[in-house]
Structure 1
């Protein structure tokens, strides 16, 4: 499953704006990827967190095809590691970031905030700078 599936984010926003004025809402943005070992077992499986750039590097390392899920608006790929374990990696790229930022704008939210800015992800800032005025608050 995507880190922040846009179809699910929109369901939360649909409810949130009925209880909170949109101009008081910041939408949380992930800045990381999840690498899940398959098969996924609910309540047992745990993912490894990595940066979005590292996710693309991993796809390149395993020479796998990156796919895009139109429902969750997120890229992902499968690979098999050296121990023959199968994995699925969900992450964000410029297209998924654009979809999330556009959603924040469509809902007239106050803005977005990031859970973690410690993982280098230049595509995010290139897209964000095209849509919003960036304001540093720390």
Structure 2
């Protein structure tokens, strides 16, 4: 079972994103931004999800640099605060950038983990074939 660490400063966003990712069957843990590097070193997650709630873009980038130096196998996914936001060095610092969309978060996390999340497909399946929506967007505000 893959392990995912969700890190940020907003406890409500951390809870929401952890709940979304837990629907996939992954082992999901969370921490506040200042503890991120220590948690990655001790927990060795397969994926680190950095929330936009980190104090600044530089915080996310410096965390990514530290993770790259010590834990090369850990993939890093950055979740933006709004659609259309961009980070200037996204290709060098992060393995993927995600809009604030729960379905996209699951898809990108599963892709970064090589498709090994046991219930990723079920988590984003449509509640109604005609709408094409999973219902996650209604259930979770990201």
Q: TM-score range by the shorter chain?
A: 0.3 to 0.5
TM-score (norm 2): 0.37
TM-score (norm 1): 0.37
Q: Which one scores higher on RCO, CA 8 angstroms, separation ≥ 6?
A: 1
Structure 1 or 2, whichever has the larger Rg, is 1
Structure with bigger helix share is 2
